[in-house]
Structure 1
Amino acid sequence: MIVVKIGGARAVDPQGAIDDVATLVGEGEAVVVVHGGSTAVDDALEAVGTEPEYVETPDGVTGRFTDAETMDVFTMAMGKVNTDLVTDLQNAGISAVGLNGVDGGLLTGRRKSAVKVREDGKTKIRRGDHSGTITDVNEDLLETLLDAGYTPVVSVPMLAEDGVAVNTDADRAAAAVAGATGASLVVLTDVAGVYEDPADPTTRIESVDSPAALDRTKAAAEGFMTKKVLAATEALEGGAAEVVVAEATAETPIVSALEGDATRFEPDAIA
């Protein structure tokens, strides 16, 4: 099985990935698509006069602060992204089914009562955040759809233990799905992998195959890539076969990534 994470940034064109999914499914491969929607959510928030808010954790990870108002817009925007992607997949000849983490209890876990953030060099507590951490994946639901010939297209939100739909990171959602199903995870983004020097594509790290290599990769990752390395680590810890981080705009992004045009995280990285 292959889990493909398609990024939600404006620079990520999903067409190449859609064509690759059609090829893989046509060859009999089981594929689950997980997508983000950061740009769509930001655009929707700005359309209703709300400034998108991002915060940084003490660990240096940047994420969206999602209060109750933002959560309403977030759910609406992610639903549209999911429908648009399912439409594109259907037009490519794929029997795609869109669902979010609430549907069938697909993605469930703990809600955060508060988040720690770094502001002006100090660690502070922010309350009112509607976000959570996935602890369980309903893989039976995915297997039922796959066995029936459908390609699941998954988005957040997730369902928290208190019965509330909350935000969670799409990269980590894809990691949870890949870990639960033992799949290979392909994370498509707007760069060709993790670079030793984030400004120099020639410094791409090709293989992460030991704890020492993973430590070096974590140290090299900056900004949005920090989350992708975290997701890769979580996927392998959960049981994923491998994780590759690759460029979404390559001609055949999924196939090329699986053939080695990517940064590849191997299970030995967490041994």
Structure 2
Amino acid sequence: MTTVVKIGGARAVDPEGALADVASLVEDGEDVVLTHGGSTAVDETLEELGEEPTYVETPGGVVGRFTDERTMDVFKMVMPGKLNTDLVESLQNEGVNAVGLSGTDGKLLSGKRKSAVRVKEDGKKKIKRGDHSGKIESVNADLLETVLAGGYTPVVSVPVLGKEKDGGYTAVNADADRAAAAIAGALEADLVLLTDVSGVYEDPDDESTKIDSASTPEAFETVKSAAEGFMTKKVMAAEEALEGGASSVVVADANAEEPISNALAGEGTTLEPGALDTAEVEQ
């Protein structure tokens, strides 16, 4: 069984424990695909360059980044550049023969580019043009399976390959949680989403209200209702992963001891395919 792990890019997330855990799993003969975020590093780099990151709200209330051409250039520099290279370097020091890949390599992650997005500003719905983003529609699972079969551990980052209306391709941004979900679905893997909290809480301010698991549509509706802020996208990604064929999804604490192993053993919030039997899938 393959495990896909996504390490969040928040300042509060320390990847050290997760990387050591990846090394232990690989040493035990497990296949691991590591993916990562990096929005915080992108924002910091933009600010160092004297530019402000732009976030927008969709009509549905989801807040996300607006990626103009300049921001896309910074993404290319930071994500498959510094962040991916740093993780590969760290894994090599843990004894893991890691290989860095972006979604554009070998058409690993691809879909249509969205050059315009619907946003809500001052209570009004508007169209904002010039975006460099896309929704992942295809995963080159053969590439990942070939890398894994060779004894290597893939470390995957956005950008992804966006198809233009004229048939050409452009590197575009995509949500890292949803990228991990697409990979987990394509590989029929377990997905572990590591973040800076220990799971999904019924009361977002009270860790004691953590939801341990959801294996029925009713339980999954409880999880979706509880998700707020950044957790909304993680639950959306979990739903897409299960719909795509993932074996399970766990939202867990990146800073816990042996965070991946403990997540797979039941720590965090575990979501199972049975939760989607009659649940409405968000697109």
TM tier relative to shorter chain: over 0.9
Alpha-carbon distance in structure 2 between the residues aligned to 1:155 and 1:113: 21
Structure 1 residue 85: Cα displacement: 0.5
- Structure 1 unmatched ranges of 5 or more: none
Equivalent residue, structure 2, for 1:202: 208
Q: Which residue of 1 aligns with 2:146?
A: 144
Distance 2:123 2:152 in 1: 48
Alignment deviations for residues 103-140 of structure 1 (CA, whole Å, 9 cap, x no partner): 01000011113111122222221111100000000000
* Cα distance, 1:60 vs structure 2: 2.1
- Between the aligned partners of 1:80 and 1:249, the Cα distance in structure 2 is 22
Shift of 1:63: 1.1
User: What residue number does 1:124 align with?
Assistant: 126
Q: Alpha-carbon deviation of 1:252? A: 0.9
What amino acid maps onto 1:95 in structure 2? N
Distance in 2 (CA, whole Å) between partners of 1:115 and 1:55 is 9
Between the aligned partners of 2:88 and 2:128, the Cα distance in structure 1 is 35
TM-score by length of 2: 0.94
**For 1:10 and 1:214, how far apart are their aligned partners in 2?**
29
Question: For residue 265 of structure 1, what is the aligned residue in structure 2?
Answer: 271
Which ranges of structure 2 fall in alignment gaps of 5 or more residues? 278-283
Note the alpha carbon deviations across 1:65-119, whole angstroms, 9 max, x for none: 1000110011101121000010000000000000100001000011113111122
State the shift of 1:220 in Å.
Answer: 0.9
> Which one of the candidate residues 172, 177, 184 is aligned to 2:178?
172
Match of 1:87 among 86, 89, 92: 89
Could you say what secondary structure the match of 1:185 adopts? strand
Which range moves more in the overlay, 54-63 or 27-36?
A: 54-63
User: Which residue of structure 2 aligns with residue 188 of structure 1?
Assistant: 194
2:16 corresponds to 1:15: yes
Cα RMSD (Å): 0.8
CA distance in 1, matches of 2:54, 2:43: 9
One-letter amino acid matched to 1:131: S
Structure-1-length-normalised TM-score:
0.99
State the identity as a percent: 67
For 2:144 and 2:78, how far apart are their aligned partners in 1?
23
**SS of the counterpart of 2:5?**
strand
Residue number in structure 2 paired with 1:232:
238
SS in 2 for 1:234: helix
Higher alpha-carbon deviation: 109-118 or 144-153: 109-118
Letter of the 2:112 partner, please give it: R
Letter in 1 for 2:68: D
Q: Distance in 2 between matches of 1:60 and 1:14?
A: 30
Distance 1:195 1:58 in 2: 25
Structure 1 position 179, deviation (Å): 0.2
Task: Pick which of 56-65 and 98-107 moved more.
Answer: 56-65
Match of 1:220 among 226, 229, 248: 226
CA deviation string 1:192-230 (max 9, x = no partner): 000000000000111111122222211111110000000
- Residue aligning to 1:44: 45
Partner of 2:99: 97
Give the match for residue 117 of structure 2. 115
> Which is worse superposed, 208-217 or 150-159?
208-217
Moved over 4 A (4+): none
> Any idea what SS the aligned residue of 2:131 has?
coil
The one-letter code of the counterpart of 1:195 is Y
Amino acid of the structure 2 residue aligned with 1:54: Y
